[in-house]
């Protein structure tokens, strides 16, 4: 079976919603367009004096706040606005770069956060750089066969949204993506260099529909395969368009 691109997802505000796409143009040295453009710093974050990439520990995340996993998002790129929905909150549309709207967003998301955890404090962004978990501009790639293997081991169907990937591929063998480290792949008109495996956290234990923890994904990974990794990080090295159904080729 030929491997194909089955899903494209972007997450406009890191850990605060996802949006499906049919196609996108990847740019060399950049994150997926519209992905993790903003992040939500918590009240214990150590923010630099000037905008810069920061480790994920400075941000509100599904690993600490399970309810965030149930947020959906729609990005209007021309208006630079984001519409957010959650089963327990009213729909809201904000311009994250506007201080008044940022404050309105913090009021909107605060009820989802446990009182005994760090609290959302500010929206931050870095020009031309998505707030990925890696210190290089990365695109995350997931394998549907690996996902099915985890679901089968757990004994129930899981949503692929638990993994928060950008490009989700079908037609591979389970865990085949791990063999691509330090190799290049072509998807549609783009070329990517696969850099490293993705270590997983507690965010994957939460149901993306409810925002409640209901699956021991980390335990299943450890028991079944001796690690907590799922998917790989890649760097775009040749710009080009990618679309659902595009063939995936290992170079």
Q: Can you spell out the DSSP letters for 25-78? A: EE-TTSPPTTSS-EEEEETT----SS-----GGGB--TTT-GGGGG-EEEEETT
All residue ranges of the chain with pLDDT < 50 are none
pTM for the model: 0.96
Secondary structure of residue 148 in the 3-state scheme: helix
Q: What is the pLDDT of residue 144?
A: 98
Q: Percentage of the chain with pLDDT > 90?
A: 94
Can you state the angle between helices 217-225 and 144-154, rounded to 10 degrees? 100
118: its two tokens: 């760090």
pLDDT at 9: 98
Q: Where are the domains of the chain?
A: 4-30+134-250, 38-125
DSSP 60-123: --TTT-GGGGG-EEEEETTTTEEEEEETTEEEEEE-TTSHHHHHHHHHHHGGGS-TTS--EEEE
In this predicted model, what pLDDT tens digit does every residue of 178-194 receive, in sequence order?
Answer: 999 999 999 999 999 99
Here the tokens at position 183 are 């190799």
Per the DSSP assignment, residues forming a β-bridge with 24 are 242
Q: What is the pLDDT of residue 116?
A: 86
Give the tens place of pLDDT for each residue, 208-223.
999 999 999 999 999 9
The CATH number assigned to the domain with range 4-30+134-250 reads 2.40.33.20
The pLDDT value recorded for residue 18 is 98
- Residue 48 pLDDT: 87
For residue 223, how far is the Cα from the chain centroid? 24
């Amino acid at each position: 079976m030929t491997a194909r691109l089955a899903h494209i997802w972007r997450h406009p505000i890191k850990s605060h919603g996802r949006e499906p796409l049919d196609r996108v143009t990847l740019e060399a040295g950049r994150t997926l367009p519209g992905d993790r453009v903003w992040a939500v710093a918590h009240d214990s974050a150590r923010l630099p004096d000037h905008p810069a990439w920061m480790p994920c520990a400075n941000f509100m995340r599904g690993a600490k706040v399970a309810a965030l996993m149930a947020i959906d998002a729609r990005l209007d790129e021309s208006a630079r606005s984001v519409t957010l929905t959650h089963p327990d909150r009213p729909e809201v549309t904000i311009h994250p770069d506007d201080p008044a709207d940022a404050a309105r967003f913090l009021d909107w998301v605060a009820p989802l956060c446990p009182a005994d955890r760090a609290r959302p404090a500010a929206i931050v962004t870095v020009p031309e750089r998505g707030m990925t978990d890696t210190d290089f501009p990365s695109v995350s790639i997931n394998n549907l066969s690996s996902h099915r293997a985890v679901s089968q081991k757990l004994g129930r169907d899981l949503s692929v949204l638990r993994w928060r990937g950008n490009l989700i591929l079908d037609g591979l063998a389970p865990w085949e993506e791990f063999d691509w480290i330090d190799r290049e792949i072509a998807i549609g008109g783009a070329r990517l260099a696969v850099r490293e495996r993705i270590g997983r956290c507690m965010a994957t234990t939460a149901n993306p529909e409810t925002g409640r923890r209901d699956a021991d994904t980390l335990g299943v990974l450890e028991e079944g395969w001796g690690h907590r990794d799922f998917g790989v990080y890649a760097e775009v090295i040749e710009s080009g368009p990618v679309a659902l159904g595009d063939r995936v080729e290992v170079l």
